[in-house]
Structure 1
Amino acid sequence: MEGDDRREKGHLSDRRFDSLGSVLDPRLLSSIPFEFMSVVQAATLEHSLSGVDVLAQAKTGTGKTLAFLLPCVQRISTMLPLVSRSPSDISVLILSPTRELALQIEKEAVVLLRGFQGAIGVQHCVGGTNMETEKRALRSSRADILVATPGRLIDHLQNSGLAPQLRNVRALVLDEADRMLDMGFRRELQTILAALPSRQERPRQSLLFSATIPQGIRDVADLDENHVFVNTLRPEEQNTHQHVPQDFIIVPHTQTFAATLCILLESLSQDPKTTKPILFFSTARSTAIFFVLLETLQKQLSGVHSANLQRLSPAWQALQTVPVFELHSRKSQSQRVRATQAFTKSQTAILCSSDVTARGVDFPGVTSVIQVGLPSSGEQYIHRLGRTARAGAAGSGVLILTPYERFFLRKKEVAGLPLRERKLVFTEDDLLPEADSAIRKALMTVSDKEKSQAYQAALGYYKSSLKDLGWSPAQLVDEMNDWARQALLFQEGASGPAPPLLAKTVGKMGLKGTPGLNVVKQLPSWADDGAGDSPNDRGDVYQHLSTVRQRGSPYGRGAKVVANGRGGGAGRGARDSVVRATQSSS
């Protein structure tokens, strides 16, 4: 169960669960797989079991799921004669911001319900699954506890006739409530509340668990004015972003992927057996591309003769075998569940992720958080950083920005953080040009379709930050076109047309009439039918690395390699100008 295994010793209290023997159903008590309560459980259970509303501030990974499931199951157990006559009624509604967290909650509920032998049932309604299957299950099987994401629940309320099954809800739980607000679910939460019977008509308990308490959070759960507020955060947890070592690196956008690979290799060279970073990217498409690059590098390295492999640095050798996973909205639910479980269990691994894991899912042992590109907000930067240095463990953060993204460092949530600028300087093995060479070689195996999709996603993402960037729409298009050609090597970096976009897509983006766009009436076959998605020619990264080593660094042995500036490309100077060599004494 989340937060209660022995790795969370820093969050265990000295209170035992058997001390609740007088208030918990024996079947429920016997199903609790732990002896001692966590701090958040000890602080909240007395209140929540008494029936009062509770607002609890607690970190993910500290046992909060069990803290709200126990009182909910206990409440249902006292209603069993009534519940058995209304098998389709939902007694407890639990809302979660993400599919992963919802399924995690459901899994823990199943453990607690095993002593009731089917008398109490739990189901989920989450995006990425078949609505008709969920609809049939909700009508044919017990759903005393329903765990749902807001968007999917709204779908069922509007299209599946679910509302009557909510007429007897006796408990409402909002887990990671602040994240639901961050993700723009306020309107959905209000719609869901409106679908529930009034508290005067049908008294119910509200339990709200959140890592932070932003303004208006009490309203979304309809908390009673006499609710109890419990804060279980330790001082160091309330300010994780103030004490975790954090660096930022400014590189031209042509070298963002190379810089990311450099940081990974550096981490692997320090401790290949326990390195466990999460890499956050701005869009799902960029996440997928970097995952493909790592996967390609691993395949190429696995084909290298063992004698030749030994000539590579320990970091490259470690990269060959470290597990790599991807998590983003473009993956199916089953794929996301498998990746989540595998990364959780791994002692050393790399996770490429969009913001679906920025909060809500607890991964043990994350050694660092690497944020690649512009975060959506200062608050999101902080939440991502919170995936490391958990439960008193060590951790670190690296933020990789381009020169035009540097404005992010001036945001009020970020300006006061202990972020230190760091140069990509590797005097030992000239790692930056080596990584750049490997990335560019691997990019040749990524289809232009995938690159076009990443380009479209980037256009939409940066369009929302035009004011901060100081760009006009035309400048946005110019920068993203250059990024597609020179960073993604779209059509091998040629200076021809930008990736194609349908006119309706351009219209939805609000970029109609913007010069520089390649607007087409119909996408070419390679961008529309999946052609080129699985190229056979994966190249030979070892040969490429060997060439770099044999000819020596183009910057001279012992030179200090510093990445900064805008970067070059077609029409902007030679590619090598993106890396400036200075004398070792500089």
Structure 2
Amino acid sequence: MPKSVEELTKVSQIPARRTKTPNESIVQDGKEEFSAVINNDLFCPEPLSSFSTQLSPIVISTLTNQMGIERLTKIQTRALSPILGKSNVLMKSETGSGKTLAYLIPLIEMLYRQSLEKKISRDDGTFAIILAPTRELCVQVDKVLKKITSSLNFMVCGGIMGGEKRKSEKERLRKGVNILVATPGRLEDHLRSTQSFKCDKVKYLILDEADILLDFGFEERVKNIYQMLIQRKLQNPLISQNQTEKTLSESIQKVLVSATLHSKIQTLAQQIDVVNALYIGHGSDGEFIEKVFNLITDKLPSNIFTIPAHLTQYAIIVPPQFRLVMLAGFLRSKTMSESLEQEPGKIIVFLSCCDSVEFHYNFFKYFQSKFKFIKEVPLIHVPLFKLHGDIEQKERTNIFKQFSDAKEGVLFCTDVAARGLDLPCVKWIVQYDPPGNPKEYLHRIGRTARMGVKGHAVMFLHPHEELYKKLLEKYKLTIHEIKGETCLESIILSFRRKSMRDPIEAAAWLQNIFEQELVNSGKENTELYSLAVNAYFSYIKYYSTHGGDVKYIFHLNNLHLGHLAKSFALKDSPSKI
């Protein structure tokens, strides 16, 4: 019998079926080549006060006193002058580098200068529109926007997004919103149906997370939105006098913000009449550049994804029958106060689908509240949260706020939380179900190590998925391996006598408890058992949908379905479920 997790891993490994031979010499994502570099230089060395020639005293005061900002980041510094100079900008920078403030600071400065010439009121309608791909990102941008305008009471900010009541949004738009944050679908809807929406004075259009707008299929909606904005301008005789559609289009400054460069980003820019744009970001060689590109004829730099120097990445190779036990041990060890060096922190666990989020959240909630181990010790003592796309918008917003405000906790979520969101004090990212697309892996780990704070990321891999770790290492990522035994130490010491040192025995002991409790819950309350069964089948479906470029790693034939069932605490084989 194997005496360690490492030995068990070797025994349980199934030879991978290679459906496609990977290109060993070049790293690609579809047709897009990209690589990763370490960024050791996040902040500008000069203090915020040194920007007094570019920023008004009230803006500097708000940033310093209301937001606690002493220095700008590099991307904020580089973007300031071009945006203030009315250039169309394509901004690319890593997650956690301060991209939101990189466009908000000059935007607020420009509107403040405008107010000095002619007083701004909400009756003027909308001057700036910020498009964001998700409702959570809209909420986040709106929150930052309200902070930065807290000293400018005349400036009205607000958001409209799917899941909210259209009637109340219509009323806000009728009264006037100077800076509007919106999801594409809801903005398009109001442009078509809300005639009282005053948007003929729009001067600034910002596409936040432009690459995700493309990934989510919003290209056509963005085009429609832009055309309707131009039509609204044309319909106002005071604005359209002696103006053509082209000159009205040129009167709108556009900023596209992204962490990666999508192959269609140039097409998206052309949809909103951007031909020449100042690119601010890393060049193909990894150096930081500012260069004007013709988006019709020029080729943009290849994707360089920058990784914070203070982010440490790990991988755990886990046999499927012990995945749930390892996750429990890992979460317990990282939420114990001594493991966080007496400082509270948060963990985000990324899962493959909504069913899996529901199962894992409710499973650990059950072992937190209804089942007590030796000495009445709960398995995980910190608050637990869940977030996925099937949750109603109002509840999602509340959960997002609760987790953001919490000092510690564990969030189980799908990729709805992977892109653009700034969740403070996240110390660990756990990719329990790794994404097939390496770019999604990079976006996920971007939820930690933000703004110069240390962070860690770990992914759980089946034995046959170790090839994925090797694939990521081709992107110049350094991924350290964690031995499975370390995840079980807290279980051994907390719940069993100290003489018990065999990790396999500890894992089997805890797995048996998990399975027995799920059987008991199935007799008394079928909800948790049903969640496990649904999550199991959804995981199989998720696994079968991996793209062809990584199918040689994530192939359904590589899974032992009986062992996989145990990773959802199911004692019976799949045929008996």
Q: Please, what TM-score do these two structures have when normalized by structure 2? A: 0.69
Match of 1:290 among 360, 365, 369: 360
Q: Paired residue for 2:29? A: none
Q: Secondary structure at the match of 2:484?
A: coil
Unaligned runs of 5+ in 2: 1-40, 231-244, 289-303, 489-499, 522-526
Name the CA distance, whole Å, in 1 between partners of 2:319 and 2:101: 44
1:201 paired residue number: 248
Could you tell me whether the CA contact under 8 Å between 2:129 and 2:204 is conserved in 1?
Answer: yes
In the TM superposition, what whole-angstrom CA distance separates every residue of 1:147-189 from its partner, at most 9, and x where no partner exists?
012233344445x346974443210112222333344433433
Partners of 2:404 and 2:385 in 1: CA distance: 11
Distance in structure 2 (CA, Å) of the matches to 1:415 and 1:114: 42
- Is contact 1:58–1:64 with CA below 8 Å preserved after alignment? yes
Q: Aligned-pair distance for 1:261?
A: 1.4
- 8 Å contact kept, 1:373–1:402: no
Give me the whole-angstrom Cα distance separating, in 2, the residues matched to 1:62 and 1:410: 27
Alignment match of 1:38 (pick from 72, 91, 95): 72
Cα offset, 1:137, TM superposition: 2.7
Identify if the C-alpha distance between structure 1 residues 28 and 212 changes in structure 2 by more than 3 Å, giving closer, same or farther. Answer: same
Task: Give secondary structure in 1 for the equivalent of 2:449.
Answer: coil
The residue number in structure 2 matching 1:271 is 339
Residues 458 and 480 in structure 1, CA contact (< 8 A), matched pair in contact too: no
Alignment of 1:325-364 (within 5 A): 325-364=385-424
Give the drift of 1:126.
1.6
- 1:58 match: 93
Q: CA offset at residue 94 of structure 1?
A: 0.2
1:386-465 → structure 2 map (5 Å cutoff)? 386-402=446-462, 408-409=468-469, 411=471, 417-420=477-480, 422-425=482-485, 428=501, 430=503, 431-444=506-519, 445=521, 446-451=527-532, 453-455=534-536, 457-458=538-539, 460-465=541-546
Residue segments in structure 1 that go unaligned for 5+ positions in a row: 1-8, 310-315, 499-586
1:423 deviates by 4.7
CA distance in 2, matches of 1:376, 1:472: 8
Name 1:385's counterpart in structure 2: 445
Corresponding position: 1:230 with 2:287: no
Question: Residues 365-406 of structure 1: CA distance to partner in whole angstroms, max 9, x if unpaired?
Answer: 322221112414111012112223334443333222335655
Cα distance in 2 between the residues matched to 1:323 and 1:10: 32
TM-score (structure 1 length as normaliser): 0.68
> Which residue pairs with 2:180 in the alignment?
146
1:379 aligned partner, one-letter code: K
Counterpart Cα distance in 2 of 1:143 and 1:53 = 23
* C-alpha distance in 1 between matches for 2:277 and 2:91: 10
Counterpart residue number, 2:314: 246
SS in 2 for 1:172: strand
Q: For the structure 1 residues 150 and 455, does the alpha-carbon distance in structure 2 shift closer, same or farther, using more than 3 Å as the test?
A: farther
- The answer to whether the 8 Å contact 2:95/2:447 transfers is no
| Number of the residue aligned with 1:256 | 323
Which residue pairs with 1:217 in the alignment? 265
Distance change in 2, residues 1:96/1:463 (3 Å): same
| RCO comparison, higher one (Cα < 8 Å, 6+) | 2
Separation in 2, partners of 1:472, 1:281:
15
1:268 deviation in Å?
3.8
RMSD (Å) for aligned C-alpha atoms: 4.1
* Pair 1:127 & 2:194 matched: no
Deviations 1:81-113 (A, max 9, x none): 989698374321101122222112212222343
Aligned position for 2:223: 190
Q: Does the residue aligned with 2:176 lie in a helix, a strand or coil?
A: coil
* Larger displacement relative to structure 2 (402-411 or 280-289): 402-411
Structure 1 residues 493 and 181: alpha-carbon distance in aligned structure 2, compared to 1, 3 A threshold = same
Distance 1:415 1:472 in 2: 19
1:122-162 deviation per Cα after TM superposition (whole angstroms, max 9, x unaligned) = 221222322333233323x212211012233344445x346
Residues 57 and 13 from structure 1, CA distance in 2 versus in 1: closer, same or farther, beyond 3 angstroms?
farther
Contact 1:443 1:488 in 2 (8 A): no
